A = this chain, B = another copy of it.
Amino acid sequence: MQLSEGVEWGAHCAVVLAMLPDGAALPAGRLAEYHGVPGPYLAKSLQALMRAGIVASSPGRRGGYRLARPASAISLLDVVDAIEGERAFFRCTEIRRRGPAAVAGRANSPACHIAAAMWRAEERWREELAAVNVEEIARVVAEGVPPVARAKAEAWLSEVLASRG
Interface residues of A (CB under 8 A from B): 1-5, 7-9, 11-12, 15, 33-37, 76, 84-85, 87-93, 95-96, 98-103, 107-110, 113-114, 117-118, 120-122, 124-129, 132, 137, 140-141, 144-146, 148-149, 152-153, 156
Contact = CB atoms under 8 A, between A and B. Distances in A.
A98 B35 CA distance: 6
Top-9 shortest CB links A-B: A36-B98, A121-B128, A101-B153, A125-B125, A124-B124, A34-B99, A109-B144, A35-B95, A103-B149
Copies of the protein in its oligomer: 2
A34 B99 CA distance: 4
Given A103-B152, A109-B146, A114-B137, 19 more contacts: A1-B2, A2-B90, A3-B118, A7-B90, A8-B95, A9-B95, A15-B114, A35-B96, A36-B102, A101-B153, A107-B149, A108-B146, A108-B149, A109-B141, A109-B149, A117-B132, A122-B125, A124-B124, A125-B125
A36 B94 CA distance: 10
A146 B105 CA distance: 12
B117 A129 contact: yes
Contacts of A34: 99-101
A127 B128 CA distance: 13
